[in-house]
Structures are given as C-alpha cells and as structure tokens.
C-alpha cells in the first residue's frame, strides 16, 4: 500500500484526529504532491461535491499535470448551466478556499461531469445487469498497457488464508490497483465504473485487473466470502461481506471467455466498455445461485477490471473532507 499523505489523513480520520478543512487546504496550497494525491483520491473515491470542487480549484491553480490528464482522459463532457455555476460558486464561498471567479469558471464543467450521475445505456436487466459505460477504446487500451507490466499470479480467498494461490480454480494473472494511487488513469477507471450509481463508490474494494490468455479461465465460483477461518471472520467484521460485483470489459478481440452464470442460464460475451453487474446476496443471505465462471479463452487476450462492493464503506475510500 502506498503510505501517502492521504493515507495519513485517512488514518487520522479513523482515529478522530482529522485536521480541519482550513488546515488541509493550507497544506495542499503549499504542497503540489499532496494536491496530486488528493485529486486522484477524490476522483477515484469521493462523492463529496464540495471536496471535489476545492481540490479541482487547487489543482487548476497549481497547473498540475494530473489536472490536465483528468481533462484529457475523462470521457464525460458536461456544460455547467448558469444555475449550476451559481451553486458551485456559493459552495466554494462556504469553503475555506478563496477561489477566484476565473478559477470557478475554469473547473465548472469538469466538476459537473464528475458529480452528476449518468444514465448509462442498459443492455440487459435482471439477475445480471449490463450497462455500456463511457469507457472508450483508447482509455481501455491505456489501462491494459498500464496493468500489463504489473501482473502477478492470481490469488483467492482460500480455506486457510485470505490470500491463497488456487491454480485448480483459476490460472490467469492479476494486478491489484492501489486505491491511494496517484495515477489518474486508474482513478478515472474506477469512477467510470460507478457513474450510473455513484452511491456505491465508497463501498468498493481496490480495483483488480485480470488478464486471461489462451486456455485460461476462472472455474465455477461465487464472489461472496466464506468465513472459513478466524482471519477471514475478523476481516469480514471490519470490512463487511462482498455483496455485489461489477466487471468492466477492457477487450473484446478474443474468442471464448464468456462470463457464464450456471443457475441463471446466462452467458455474457465481452464488449469494450461493458459493465457486467450482479449481486452475491439475496434477502440478506449468501446466494449460491450467483455461481459463475469465466469460460476458457480460445484465442487472443481477455482483459477485465473488477470492483467488488462490500456492505460497509471501505475506509480507504473515505473523504478527507471533515464535516
């Protein structure tokens, strides 16, 4: 884990020792590195609209590369109305940051595009829901390129530990992203996966990127966590149970590799930008009918990014903006 200044602030919040908003703003104004970390964290995790406005203004004022990267990569383009601009202005006036009119005007459109929930095209509804996100081919290719050099053998929740290599169930490779990464590309991907339901963002685990090559697969399994050891039971007590899954397709130029749901009799083929979503819990109970598999790839490479959602907020996705 990247023990960044954001981590220190989140830990301070957990200990009920979070600095004031004024102190955080003053520190960021003097520290471009903190602002970079903060903007990436806010994009990947925050649904606090004032926090996003404040850090966007600071990043714009400091002319940070990460702000330019956000403008270039974020695929949702919105135009702030006069009423929304007035709301943003008043919101910033109530913050400890003294934002100039030109700065408010400059960040208004990107701020709106980050905080306004989107109506993604729905391709299928039911036990499995399919939406078409705004992730385009260029962003997908960049994510694959970024993850490719960071791959490790995949690990699972096993019978004896929460991190266990179980090659008879799956044999592909993975890259576990860092929630506190200062990489805007990874931050953008996570927010895009939740823009149609922003309320779920604070409940997401770190993103996991998977590569499946010819013959590789993930055999029948459920995504909920079985409390089989004391270590896993303690983790569930702190983080909560996995209740939902979102899978983002990053490639579709391969054969095979469908996401198959045995009990629901559904097979989903990949489409770049497609979100595959389903629940592992029904009526508050673990749902064995959610059993699914990533069928073997026959040709090409299958790439996906997965977010699992817990029934408790994930503490590293908490806002550093004190109320």
Q: Mean pLDDT throughout 119-131?
A: 98
Q: Mean pLDDT throughout 239-260?
A: 98
pLDDT of residue 25: 98
pLDDT of residue 154: 82
Residue 139 CA to residue 164 CA, distance in Å, equals 31
Q: Mean pLDDT throughout 133-149?
A: 97
CB 39 within 8 A of CB 60: no
Positions of E strands within the chain: 121-124, 128-132, 152-153, 173-176, 208-212, 218-221, 242-249, 255-256, 259-261, 266-268, 274-279, 281-282, 285-286, 292-294, 297-299, 302-310
**In the predicted structure, residue 280 carries a pLDDT above the cut 70:** yes
**DSSP characters over 3-61:** --HHHHHHHHHHTT-PPPHHHHHHHHHT-HHHHHHHHHHHHHH---HHHHHHHHHHHHH
| Residue 255, strand partner residues | 299
Three-state DSSP state, 123: strand
Q: Mean pLDDT throughout 292-314?
A: 97
Domain 121-317: top CATH class: mainly beta
- What residue segments make up the domains of the chain, in order of their start? 5-115, 121-317
Among 132-136, 162-166, 258-262, whose mean pLDDT is lowest?
A: 162-166
Residue 78 CA to residue 82 CA, distance in Å, equals 13
What would the pLDDT profile of 63-118 be if each residue is shown by its tens digit? 999 999 999 999 999 999 999 999 999 999 999 999 999 999 999 999 999 999 99
What would the pLDDT profile of 161-212 be if each residue is shown by its tens digit? 545 555 567 788 999 999 898 999 999 999 999 999 999 999 999 999 999 9
Look over the chain and give the mean of its residue pLDDT values, rounded to a whole number: 94
What would the pLDDT profile of 18-69 be if each residue is shown by its tens digit? 999 999 999 999 999 999 999 999 999 999 999 999 999 999 999 999 999 9
**In the predicted structure, residue 148 carries a pLDDT above the cut 60:** yes
Q: What is the DSSP letter of 128?
A: E
CA dihedral 166, 168, 172, 177 (to 10 degrees): -20
Three-state DSSP state, 227: coil
Residue 86 CA to residue 82 CA, distance in Å, equals 6
């Amino acid at each position: 884990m990247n023990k960044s200044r954001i981590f220190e602030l989140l830990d301070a919040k957990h200990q009920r020792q979070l600095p004031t908003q004024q102190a955080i703003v003053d520190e960021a104004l003097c520290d471009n590195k903190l602002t970079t970390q903060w903007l990436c964290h806010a994009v990947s995790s925050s649904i606090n609209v004032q926090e996003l406005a404040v850090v966007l203004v600071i990043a714009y004022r400091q002319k940070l590369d990460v702000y330019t990267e956000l403008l270039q990569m974020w695929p949702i383009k919105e135009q702030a109305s006069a009423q929304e601009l007035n709301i943003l202005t008043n919101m910033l006036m109530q913050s400890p940051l003294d934002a100039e009119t030109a700065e408010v005007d400059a960040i208004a459109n990107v701020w709106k595009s980050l905080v306004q929930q989107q109506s993604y095209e729905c391709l299928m509804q039911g036990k499995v829901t399919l939406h078409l996100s705004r992730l385009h081919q260029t962003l997908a290719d960049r994510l694959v390129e970024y993850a490719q050099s960071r791959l490790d053998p995949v690990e699972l929740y096993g019978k004896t530990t929460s991190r266990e290599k179980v090659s008879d169930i799956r044999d592909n490779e993975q890259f576990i992203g860092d929630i506190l990464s200062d990489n805007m590309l990874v931050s953008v991907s996570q927010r895009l996966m939740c823009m149609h339901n922003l309320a779920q963002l604070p409940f997401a685990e770190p993103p996991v990127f998977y590569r499946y090559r010819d013959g590789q697969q993930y055999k029948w399994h459920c995504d909920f966590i079985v409390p089989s050891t004391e270590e896993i039971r303690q983790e569930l007590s702190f983080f909560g149970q996995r209740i939902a899954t979102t899978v983002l397709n990053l490639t579709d130029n391969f054969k095979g590799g469908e996401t198959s749901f045995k009990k629901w009799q559904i097979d989903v083929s990949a489409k770049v930008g497609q979100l595959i979503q389903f629940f592992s819990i029904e009526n508050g109970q673990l749902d064995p009918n959610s059993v699914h598999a990533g069928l073997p790839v026959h040709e090409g490479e299958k790439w996906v990014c997965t977010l699992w959602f817990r029934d408790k907020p994930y503490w590293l996705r908490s806002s550093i903006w004190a109320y």
